[in-house]
Structure 1
Amino acid sequence: MKPVSRRDAALVREGNNANKYNVLISDNDGDASFPYRIAERYHCKGFLGSGGSGLVFKAWDDMLQRMVAIKFIRNPSFVARQRLVAEARALAKVNHPSICSIYDIGEPVDEHSSLFMVMELIEGPRLAELAGKLTTTQAIKLIHKLAEGVSELHAVGLVHNDINPGNVIITQQGNEEPMPTLIDLSIAGRPSKQSRPKGFGVTPLFCAPEQREDNEIAADMLEKVDIYSLGALLLFLVSGQAPSKNPAAQLKTIRRRCSPPLRKFILRCLAESPKKRFSSMAEVVGILGELSYYKPNRQPAILAASAGVIVALSVLVTTQLTPSAWSDDEDSEGLVNQASMHALYATQLMHEGKGREARQQAQKSIQHYRQAITLSDGQTIEPLLRLVDFVVTQQQLFSQSELSALLLDTLSLAENINSEQPQLAFAMAKIYYHLAKLHQPRTNVYQRWLEHAKTAIERALSIQPDTPHYRTLECKIDALQNQSSGGTC
């Protein structure tokens, strides 16, 4: 088959006339054909569309017996061809379900025609079709998965440059959660001293401000382009609108769908200056994971998790932990919500076998509880009660020394609260009781903690004598004093 004319190729590239597609890709016998001859192992099965950098066809790979997608790259120069080959090799190293796999790259038979790339065939609705139709949590989880894939892309030294709703296809197998897959990878490139020319293969509504300017983008800032685009996608899914020049105003119109931490996350992604965005896609992945478990005014689900779920914690109670990148809530309630979310996410991470990440989330949970206690300044004891519940309910997750240090630190916070509420006395009794259990081999210390526990629980019962769980703890304290098992409590 002869190469298409410049006029026909232009019509296909711009998509100005659907009938021209049929003329271009069909032979007289009705079978679809590529615009140029390539290896005979590939049989054209139809035209899929035109992307930012080429024409895409559905094809059958006769050798490997599978359907594939083949993209013909538009008129690359010799230098561009070499660069695309190098980048395809890097892409081939990426193995993530959110990144379309690259199978092959090669030259067509016809001279002066087009480079082609053989890719995984991904079929399904585009992300653009889901704008405003998902719950906030569903939207966050989709972008979280996408960010994981882009993070893998960055890890091999590539940036995508044009993440937009049309470049993401949603697939779903059975009862599994939907999986977003990023396509049109032929415009992905390695960071270099100079960025791509202004407007090269990008989608204006979702590209970063620096991509629309004439100035070159510094190599160490190129990954921030993808961070901006992911933030724009998340805003698009939650609000149903592409980002405007004032995304903060857009977010105010959807307050009920967009929690304060989520608003802060999106606005940081969409910061005008790349330097004000997140430092890396890996950081974005971590925070999106946290946000997907953010549940305002909800008890921490980790406390109701089965006893078999172990979150390995390394608690350094004397070390001030770095605040989460998006945790600048100004009220105690917001910090408690964040603490609960981190605890729940830690549980999920442990289910997935990600111990290191789970420890990080658990540390953040404890940190936020402490910040909430300090911020409340005794006006509410809820943050302290949550922290005590977390520590004593999950104490099997700590080493003895870690647990002892954490209980003592929590006790110090409790003693600084001036309140006659029975719940506070009960919380302190629990701390004393568990400190006594930890120090049973040291008789003097053990007895001292037991005496404190007894005094505290009696104070709680003097105010609310008919509270069942107060009575249960009193029974356990008495049993420990009498060296019995406390099994009847």
Structure 2
Amino acid sequence: MTKVIGHDLGGRYEILTRIGGGGMALVYKAHDVLLNRNVAVKVLRQQFVHDEEFIRRFRREAQSAAALSHPNVVSIYDVGQEDDTHYIVMEYVEGHNLNEIIQERAPLQADEAVRIAMQIADALDHAHQNHIIHRDIKPHNILIGKNGRVKVTDFGIARAVTSSTITQTGSVIGSVHYFSPEHAKGINTGEKSDLYSLGIVLYQMLTAQLPFLGESPISVALKHLQETFEEPRKVNPHIPQSVENVILKAMRKNPIERYASAHEMLLDLEGSLRPERLNEPKVTFTSVNDLEETRVMPAIRGDMAPALSKDTSTQAAIVSQEVTGSETELQPKAKGWKKPLTVVGVTLVILAIIIMGFIWLLGKIDVAEVDVPYVVGKPLAEARQMLEAEGLKVEEPVLREHNKEIPIDQVLSQTKSNMRVKEGSFVQLTVSAGPELQEVGNYVGKALQSIIDELGAVGITENQIVIDDEVFDEQAAGTILQQSPKPGEQYNPETVEFTFVISKGRETVEMPNLIGMKLDQAKSMIKAKDLVLADDGILYQPSFLHDKDEVISQDPFTANDRVVKGTKITITVSSGPPKDAREHQFNIVISPAVAGKTSEVRIVYSDARGDDIEWGVRKIKDMRTFPVDVILSPDTEARLTITRDGKFIDTITITYDEIIKGSESSTLTIPGEEVPPSDVPAQTEVEPGHEEPIEEQQQEQQP
């Protein structure tokens, strides 16, 4: 399958983006369209799809791992094949692997490292109880979720790798630092091999370094077999002695001296940080020589040829002896000396031809041996020269693998190194193809945050994402409207910069207060605010409080709400008083308390519009008439109260029935107070235009 991203694997798993990979497989983030969840899909590399034995064991071990159900084990959901693509579907863990955390923050605090190691041990205990051995415990296979949960992945996969596959893929290069001695020797590994690897992981978390390093995988493997490592507390004195004891016991070269089980190691880890154990004595072991069971056998080389030649000579001697014996047996029967001599001569000639042919064949077979130079890290051209200078050949085609950290054409791995081989042998090289170029998707119309998450999965940081502009648009706020680079273009995740124009959503305005406005005025205000009056947006309703064509209410927004432009508005408009309402006019004729002096008159009324409504306050110096209109509904009455100079003067009422039977108006006369003649001042004639001004305090009549 040449193009994986965007492909619906098995008609169910939509491949979204690549999130990792190793020597045997590539890992992708995918979406399970059937169960609507994100999953991780591991796809076997194409160079292994024709290895039937590998495929068979790969499936069997993956299915065995699928039987594991534990909170610290990445669950396997499905195993399948589509054409020549073999894949495993597993739980998707949002977070980082332990290797990334070690590179970023190691050495870790003891409590954090122990907490992580305990969860790994718990997962191994569950696996071992189900007769599954991991065989590839390393930080790359430990995932740390955002919630801190540790998940062990690749259960069963390492077990499916044959020795030939390890050699072909170079998997040893990635895992040899975590091999147990028995693993390095190539013998069957058991549960305690996983505990040794866990000890190395704990060592690395607490010291930020590996216990064994070397120039080649073979040299590292030999150190696992033969050498002792630097004790953790010598590298990091802050490690408690109790925690160092756990590492020392887990990493014993003799499996018998390690923990009996993952459960035993888990219990020791649980108690290692108790105050009474922090400074416990350093653990000791009774074994005098931990390397007694570890023996390295020399490789079989071409110098065995002389021995082979010696054996050939011996065989020739035996043949000669047999021939001679035959001759002795025939001599008594010979009647002359010529026949035996002829037989001996022919035999010697045949024997000479056989020996010469064998020597010639041996010369062809016994090709000189040469040392294979170590060319990892060299440019391809220089690596070719180094190999050819030793009489070796580069196997074509050269394998290429994307690597964002190694320059293009620099050698990543070689199939033979640090060994002697026959001159003319082929060496397979794998070189860097540089960072893997990704294809830009079409992000227009999608939410910005979801695209940030998607790009983050392939290594794009938020610093590489630029918001060029935010504009009002019909699309929801945060939706991408334009993008650069364009869809379909190729980009380097290390150097690319994405530029987006995003939507601020539809433009909004402040909702005006339409209540109390006349209908024409309300229509103008709605249009001015870029709002729309709905087709049936004017509703009429009788009202005592509002005059005809006056807005009573607005819907669905109140004054000062933020409203999207173009939103449809509905208003309710007064059609005037109800049809059965009746109006009546009180004519109040009132004089000042003292003739010629100013009095303040206040009128308050109650009717269908409400109680104690302020009609107004007037100042008068002579008799005045004030008309006061009231409105009544059936079975109600109107009441009018008059005060003068702050004193209650009179109250007048009228009922709905009285209005029906009577006239449309009535008059109430309120005279001034009696004044003694002696107190009446002499009248003076006032010239026209010089009347004393009358002050009146006008107040709006409440509706």
Answer 1 or 2: which has greater helix percent: 1
Task: Considering fraction of residues, name the structure with more strand.
Answer: 2
Which is bigger in relative contact order (C-alpha 8 A, separation at least 6)? 1
